[in-house]
Amino acid sequence: MHIKYKKQLVVFSLSHLVIDFACFYVLMGSFSRNTLDIMSVSMGFLIYNFIAFALQPPIGYFADRTRIGHTNFAIWGCLVVVCGLVIPCFPLMKVCLCAIGNAFFHIGGGIDSLVNANGRFARSGVFISFGAIGVVLGTLAGEFNWLPMWVVITVLLVCIGLQWVLCRDKNIRTAAIFKLKNSVLKQPYLVIYISMLCIVVRAVVGTYTHIPWRSTVFLMILPVVCVFAGKLIGGILADRFGAKSVAVVSLFVSAPLLSFFTSNIFLCCVGLLFFNITTAITLCIIVSKLPNNPGFGFGLTTLALFVGTTFSFFIVMSPAIQPYLLAAFIIMSVACIWLVASNNKLQEGL
């Protein structure tokens, strides 16, 4: 791929890390520390998730229907997050501003990862993966007040400058063409719904998986590094060995590890890595059925994430049956991905 598009991938991926860092810096810092009621904190996180994830489909659809350019959406998102950091307002308003900015940035960066992918999975996997690192580092920085706010603002402004200089393109690509063939299901909308169900299941399993050994900063970061690695290599492996083979094998491996062996650090980390390999695969499958609406397709994946994570706010899963339910959910996801994925092998480029 042309060096210009590789530079854009680097800029958007690092900006993804920074934008998620800034949002969780606010969530765990100015919001959580100043909100003493645990119910209010929970509602604040739920509101953040709704705005940041559930509103991405309409924002993405708007981006698809205009000629504004996806980089502008990413820049606007960063600017709104800067406003959430600097404007002197009550904490929940800061959270809402950060969530709005997060949604706009994800649509801008997400569209870039899809329209410049040359029909391959790898680019989306790279872009998506960096958010996990930003979330955990932002959580720790906000909770323990590791950084002054001006540092976070400065880094965000640097990201805005890099996007303005390196990522704005006069010849705006608007279509994301993924020539994925030979899946069991042929009906486009059914493929989209089943793929979204896979994402809902991934979110449910992720939120309910109990990791008892996260007792130090290093052990808090380690699982997220495994999630990052899984998302990062998932698209690369899918291009090399075929999406269906990679997705089915990775989910089968992760099922027992995340259901019954989370108390073992090594096995749990292996399970987290394998479980997240399907992230880029499900995204690209959905967008392959919406080639002229990559922003809307990307937004559907975040909507599914919102639905899956919301269960944990309202439903308590009994520890006695939790391992068996999680295993059943992952096996159900195997069946779903077998129906919608194909084994196209695309070995070159990001």
Give yes or no for residue 348 having a pLDDT over 60.
no
CATH (one of 1.20.1060.10, 1.10.357.10, 1.20.1250.20, 2.170.8.10) for 3-166: 1.20.1250.20
- Give the tens place of pLDDT for each residue, 252-280: 999 999 999 999 999 999 999 999 999 99
pLDDT level of residue 174 (50, 70, 90 thresholds): confident
pLDDT at 36: 64
Token look-up 């960063």 returns 78
25-30: average pLDDT: 87
pLDDT at 349 over 80: no
Output 182 or 299, whichever has higher pLDDT.
Answer: 299
Q: Could you tell me if 53 and 306 are in contact, meaning their C-beta atoms sit under 8 angstroms apart?
A: yes
pLDDT-derived band of residue 39, with 50, 70 and 90 as boundaries? confident
| Percent of the chain topping pLDDT 90 | 75
Q: What is the C-alpha to C-alpha distance for residues 91 and 342, in angstroms, rounded to an integer?
A: 46
More confident residue, 114 or 92: 114
CA distance 140 to 94: 18
Helix extents (H) in 167-293: 188-208, 217-241, 243-260, 265-275, 279-288
Residue 286's pLDDT is 95
- Tokens 């998986």 label which residue? 209
> In which band, very low, low, confident or very high, does the pLDDT at 345 lie, cut at 50, 70 and 90?
low
Selection from 144, 133, 132 nearest residue 28 by Cα: 144
Question: What 8-state DSSP symbol labels residue 29?
Answer: I
Which of 32-41, 163-172, 177-186, 297-306 shows the lowest mean pLDDT across its residues?
Answer: 32-41
What's the mean pLDDT in 114-135? 94
The answer to whether 92 and 44 have CB atoms below 8 angstroms apart is: yes
Q: CATH for 188-340, among 1.10.10.60, 3.40.50.300, 1.10.150.120, 1.20.1250.20? A: 1.20.1250.20
Question: What is the model's pLDDT at position 51?
Answer: 96
Outline which parts of the chain fall under CATH 1.20.1250.20. 3-166, 188-340
Distance (Å, rounded) from C-alpha 140 to C-alpha 347? 37
Confidence at 350, pLDDT banded by 50, 70, 90:
low
Per-residue pLDDT reduced to its tens digit, 276-301: 999 999 999 999 999 999 999 999 99
Q: Kindly list the distances between the CA atom of residue 48 and the CA atoms of 52, 149, 319, in Å, as whole numbers in the listed order.
A: 6, 20, 28
Average pLDDT rounded to a whole number, residues 211-240: 95
Predicted confidence band of residue 169 (pLDDT cuts 50, 70, 90): confident
The tokens for 325 are 């339910």
DSSP SS3 for 69: coil
Percent of the residues in the chain that have a pLDDT greater than 70, as a whole number? 96
pLDDT tens profile 139-156: 999 888 888 999 999 999
Angle at 255 between CA 268 and CA 335, to 5 degrees: 150
**Structure confidence at residue 18 (pLDDT):** 97
